A and B are shown apart, each in its own frame.
Chain A
């Protein structure tokens, strides 16, 4: 089981709810992924409360936990206010904290992130910070009260996969007891397997599933890939070596010459 603050979940896939071809495909992808946590957001309501309400009623019908985000926030005060409004709207202390620092890469503003995480943690939030793979920032986030870290492995929506495996490996080594979730940059199931084999606790996906030709099938593929990587990590993998090692024992081999 994966423990995130006081919650225990068995699925190690967290799924975003944006960019699906239709609400029906989103609902089916959530079911097929086996996820127990989906991310949601909040935006200006223009249809008198009806459009957001309809969306959220559908999410509630799926029986999953929601992790609201502060996507699109570029400053501390904006992110903190959005988090407070999300708590009121969704009735949860969980917040996926995003403080964006760069328009092109959507790289987190890690200085603002630490400040906002500190404010929100003190206010009773359980913060899931979208951060980089920087160890010092990670330390500061833990000091700020975060009990989970969510480093990117590549820019949001890039599908580039793990760009810096060394940094991810280093995070795992430095924070053996902190839940680590790769958030952003995963493009295909093999990327997810790779980070799970490094010992990451979970993967948060959106575009890789929603943007696939068949999002429902891709949700299923990712679920298997993540489970596979996690099981392999626990099973203890061989380290690569430069010389061959015969897999068939040579003791007792017949000698014909």
Chain B
């Protein structure tokens, strides 16, 4: 399926957001996720089905002013 992850096009199999994180080798608790402009909370990722052309943002902490 075609997904846009952090602005980059990917073609991979990931029926849910949790599976996408696994497939793309994300790990740890320091992630926040959104799909198509809506936040998907940590506890909802396993149930959040992905569809073709979904736009996924995966953010983590960084330095800021």
Contacts of B65 in A (CB 8 A): 16-19, 39, 41, 69, 71, 156, 206-207
List the B residue with the shortest CB-CB distance to A90: B61
User: B27 and A49: CB pair below 8 A?
Assistant: yes
List the A residue with the shortest CB-CB distance to B29: A53
User: A49 and B60: CB pair below 8 A?
Assistant: yes
Contacts of A56 in B (CB 8 A): 30, 60-61
User: A81 and B39: CB pair below 8 A?
Assistant: yes
> Binary interface profile of B, 5-39, with partner A (CB < 8 Å = 1, else 0)?
01100000000000000001111111111100111
Complex CA gap A50/B41 in Å reads: 19
Confirm or deny: B49 has a beta carbon within 8 angstroms of a beta carbon on chain A: no
List the B residue with the shortest CB-CB distance to A41: B64
Confirm or deny: A221 has a beta carbon within 8 angstroms of a beta carbon on chain B: no
Contacts of B34 in A (CB 8 A): 81, 85
Contacts of A49 in B (CB 8 A): 26-28, 30-31, 60
Confirm or deny: A245 has a beta carbon within 8 angstroms of a beta carbon on chain B: no
User: A81 and B28: CB pair below 8 A?
Assistant: no
User: A86 and B32: CB pair below 8 A?
Assistant: yes
Taking the closest CB of chain B, its distance from the CB of A65, in whole angstroms, is 14
Confirm or deny: A101 has a beta carbon within 8 angstroms of a beta carbon on chain B: no
> Binary interface profile of A, 149-166, with partner B (CB < 8 Å = 1, else 0)?
000000010000000000
The contact sample of 5 A-B pairs, CB cut-off 8 A, is: A42-B64, A56-B60, A81-B37, A82-B59, A88-B41
**Given A81-B34, A81-B37; A18-B6 close (CB under 8 Å):** no
Confirm or deny: A103 has a beta carbon within 8 angstroms of a beta carbon on chain B: no
Taking the closest CB of chain A, its distance from the CB of B60, in whole angstroms, is 3
Closest 10 CB pairs of A and B: A52-B60, A41-B64, A16-B65, A206-B65, A45-B60, A85-B32, A56-B61, A53-B30, A18-B63, A44-B6
Confirm or deny: B1 has a beta carbon within 8 angstroms of a beta carbon on chain A: no
List the B residue with the shortest CB-CB distance to A46: B6
Confirm or deny: A241 has a beta carbon within 8 angstroms of a beta carbon on chain B: no
Confirm or deny: A51 has a beta carbon within 8 angstroms of a beta carbon on chain B: yes
Contacts of A45 in B (CB 8 A): 6, 26, 31, 58-60
User: A41 and B62: CB pair below 8 A?
Assistant: yes
**Given A81-B37, A88-B32, A88-B39; A48-B26 close (CB under 8 Å):** yes
> Binary interface profile of A, 19-56, with partner B (CB < 8 Å = 1, else 0)?
11000001000000000000111111110111111011
Taking the closest CB of chain A, its distance from the CB of B55, in whole angstroms, is 12
Contact partner of A52 (CB less than 8 A), chosen from B25, B42, B62, is B62
